[in-house]
Amino acid sequence: MCGIVGYVGRRTAAPMLVDRLDDLSYRGYDSAGIAVANDGVVVVQKLPGKIENLRAALAGNEPPGTIGIGHTRWATHGPPTQVNAHPHADCTGRLFVVQNGIIENFPGLKRELLERGHEFRSQTDTEVVVHLLEEYYDGDLMAAVKKTAARLQGSFALAFLAADEGRLVAVRYHAPLIVGVGGGENVLASDITAVLQDTNKVYVLENGDVVSVEANRIDVDTFLPERAKKPGERQLTIVDWRAEDVSKNEYPHYMLKEIYEQPRAVERTLQGRIKDGDLVLREMDLTPEQIRRLDSFHVVACGTAYHAALFGKYLLERVLRVPVTADIASEFRYRNPILSAKSLVILISQSGETADTIASMEEAHARGAKTLAVVNVRGSTLAREADAVLYTRAGPEIAVASTKAFTAQLTALILLACYLADQRKVDWPYGRDELLKHLLELPANLERTLEVTAPTAKTWGRLIAAGPDCYFLGRNVDEPLAREAALKLKEISYVHAEAYPAGELKHGTIALISEGTPVVSFMTQESVWDKMISNIHEVRARGARTFAVVREGGYGLEDLVEDVITLPAVPELFTPVLAAVPAQLIAYEAATALERDVDQPRNLAKSVTVE
Ligand code: M6R
């Protein structure tokens, strides 16, 4: 939620900041703004709407100066107006701040500051920060920021600019912040993707860090009293993502590019992890003894990652024959979960920064459970703070709608299930050689799936775009896929969609099926094939237009569905990796038919760093 950037160096800051904001625009796009300092004069330009508005306003009119901060907003407090756009200034107009996160105690602070005569212009929580800074500022930005941060409650990453200082100061507290290290220039950003054009060397800041950034110098301190004795060095991380990975290349949308990157993403998930018939998961920091002692498994995530978690539940139960729970993180953290030192909580997240998922990890730690993060972004909070990590290695995902991160998560979960089975001395399903062969063939089968799906998905997508509703059905591991298809369709096309375990529809929701309602059934599981056929009959009898996604060898669908997408024959437990493709492409085609903003759908942000 919201992206923040800062630049200090030798280049003109304004275009640098706008370009880096563009790279972060998936974090929010309600308004954008920059503040640039030059010889004690600070120019602020901020506008509602997307970054193009800001870019257009600055064209031919860029303020000089080689130091500045910038912001792209996902509105929480106050509507997306110019006055609520960041950066915010203090009463003197000499101090400026941009924020990602929420200041939970802002009402009390605002009352206090109003009593002390401060004048507020916006409705944001952020503005209290800069007026508080004004209270403490006496020419030393670092010292004032430390005092300011110590008064704030919530989760926040803040970057500050003072008209009279040639440095930026920033704070991290439960919201991501990194410093990209260049030669004679340094960049602050919410996310690694924003610095890839400049450098592959980054410092990932930790909670409580206060960092002073100059063109040739970076100093780290802390505002947390309990850590006051050990500020200083942070380890330099070398990032293996490239600038090309975050460009659209010839694709009209990031989402489409990322859908087509899935064979490569899954290949990377598998790379180096299968050796001589064994699974090698080096990052897994749990000993065989710890793994054997586990007696309960819990998979926790949000959104698309939660659908991967549901798949994880089916998979782990099937492979390990132990009870597994799957929870939405915002529920798990507040439902007093039953955990012990013998529990493993598996947290799935593309960004590794989702607030509720991080809070679930903290809840698990507080109850003595072990945690394992299945994460895409290296150095993210979940990756650093979980007991063990399994990187999905999908590469940077820019489109708000998650695609390749999902298929990489499913693949990582298959690896994990088999790895845990080995440690617990449980046989793999399908036999070892067979399963490894199919795992290694997944990228090629994804290629094939893309080929067979694309034309059909276009036809279905256009039909579904006519709305107003669409239903997705599935049983067993197809049920999470149905949910994922419905989420994808809703979030990028705004067509109302619902997903149901196919047998459940008749317990109420079937009342909504009427003449012409599209119903797409995912039916890749032999054991429930006949049941799915019956469920399709039920909706068809009520006038539904029916479509099916099946695995090679599906039979008996003639006269029952209008059209079929046939996936390559892989073991049943693997089909969700392939079935994700039609789920994504149908949504993409519906959204483009409706001329929606596919990569940046309304009301959303990619990384949900607030509750
Ligand atoms: O970064 P995470 O995987 O933790 O994000 C979880 C959800 O916010 C995310 O999957 C969201 O639902 C996407 N918009 C789905 O396409």
User: Do residues 425 and 561 share a domain?
Assistant: no
CA of 594 from ligand 1 middle (Å) equals: 23
Relative to beta strand 201-204, strand 236-238 is: antiparallel
Model pLDDT for residues 258-271, shown as the tens digit of each residue: 999 999 999 999 99
Residue 91: active-site member: no
Q: Is residue 606 part of a domain?
A: no
Model pLDDT for residues 137-183, shown as the tens digit of each residue: 999 999 999 999 999 999 999 999 999 999 999 999 989 999 999 98
Residue with CA nearest ligand 1 atom 8: 303
Q: Is residue 437 part of a domain?
A: no
User: Do residues 27 and 88 share a domain?
Assistant: yes
Q: Is residue 604 part of a domain?
A: no
CA of 564 from ligand 1 middle (Å) equals: 29
User: Do residues 476 and 375 share a domain?
Assistant: no
User: Do residues 425 and 458 share a domain?
Assistant: no
Q: Is residue 147 part of a domain?
A: yes
Q: Is residue 601 part of a domain?
A: no
Domains: count for the chain: 3
Q: Which atom of ligand 1 is nearest to the CA of 357?
A: 4
Model pLDDT for residues 311-325, shown as the tens digit of each residue: 999 999 999 999 999
Count the Cβ atoms, other than its own, within 10 Å of residue 77: 14
Question: At 70, which CATH number?
Answer: 3.60.20.10
User: Do residues 107 and 227 share a domain?
Assistant: yes
Q: Is residue 434 part of a domain?
A: no
Say what the pLDDT of residue 231 is: 56
CA of 128 from ligand 1 middle (Å) equals: 30
Count the Cβ atoms, other than its own, within 10 Å of residue 368: 11
Last residue of a domain, one of 224, 243, 262: 243
User: Do residues 137 and 89 share a domain?
Assistant: yes
* Residue 146 token pair: 């430390």
Relative to beta strand 186-189, strand 178-181 is: antiparallel
Last residue of a domain, one of 429, 463, 488: 429
User: Do residues 357 and 387 share a domain?
Assistant: yes
Model pLDDT for residues 486-507, shown as the tens digit of each residue: 999 999 999 999 999 999 998 9
User: Do residues 404 and 269 share a domain?
Assistant: yes
| Closest CA relative to residue 122, chosen from 77, 74, 76, 69 | 77
User: Do residues 171 and 107 share a domain?
Assistant: yes
Question: At 411, which CATH number?
Answer: 3.40.50.10490
Q: Is residue 294 part of a domain?
A: yes
CA of 155 from ligand 1 middle (Å) equals: 19
Say what the pLDDT of residue 559 is: 87
Relative to beta strand 209-214, strand 168-173 is: antiparallel
| % of the chain with per-residue pLDDT over 70 | 99
User: Do residues 331 and 424 share a domain?
Assistant: yes
Model pLDDT for residues 521-537, shown as the tens digit of each residue: 999 999 999 999 999 99
Model pLDDT for residues 563-573, shown as the tens digit of each residue: 999 999 999 99
Terminal-residue alpha carbon distance, the chain: 10
**Mutational pocket test of ligand 1: of 1, 302, 409, the residue with most ligand atoms within 8 Å of the beta carbon:** 302
The pLDDT confidence band at residue 49, using thresholds 50, 70 and 90, is very high
The pLDDT confidence band at residue 229, using thresholds 50, 70 and 90, is low
**Mutational pocket test of ligand 1: of 350, 353, 603, the residue with most ligand atoms within 8 Å of the beta carbon:** 350
Ligand 1 site, CB within 6 A:
302-305, 349-351, 354, 357, 400-402, 491, 607-608
Residue 201: active-site member: no
Residue with CA nearest ligand 1 atom 14: 401
CA of 99 from ligand 1 middle (Å) equals: 21
What range defines the domain where residue 516 resides? 447-593
User: Do residues 196 and 287 share a domain?
Assistant: no
Phi, psi of 560 (to 5 degrees): -110, -35
User: Do residues 233 and 261 share a domain?
Assistant: no
**Tell me, what amino acid is at 290?**
Q
Last residue of a domain, one of 220, 243, 266: 243
Q: What is the C-alpha separation between 125 and 528, in angstroms, rounded?
A: 52
Instruction: Say if residues 210 and 222 touch (Cβ distance below 8 Å).
Output: yes
Q: Is residue 510 part of a domain?
A: yes
Helix, strand and coil content of the chain, in percent to the nearest 5, comes to: 40, 25, 40
Average pLDDT along the chain: 94
**Mutational pocket test of ligand 1: of 356, 608, 611, the residue with most ligand atoms within 8 Å of the beta carbon:** 608
Asked whether the predicted pLDDT for residue 609 surpasses 80, the reply is no
Model pLDDT for residues 102-132, shown as the tens digit of each residue: 999 999 999 999 999 999 999 999 999 999 9
Asked whether the predicted pLDDT for residue 610 surpasses 80, the reply is no
Model pLDDT for residues 452-477, shown as the tens digit of each residue: 999 999 999 999 999 899 999 999 99
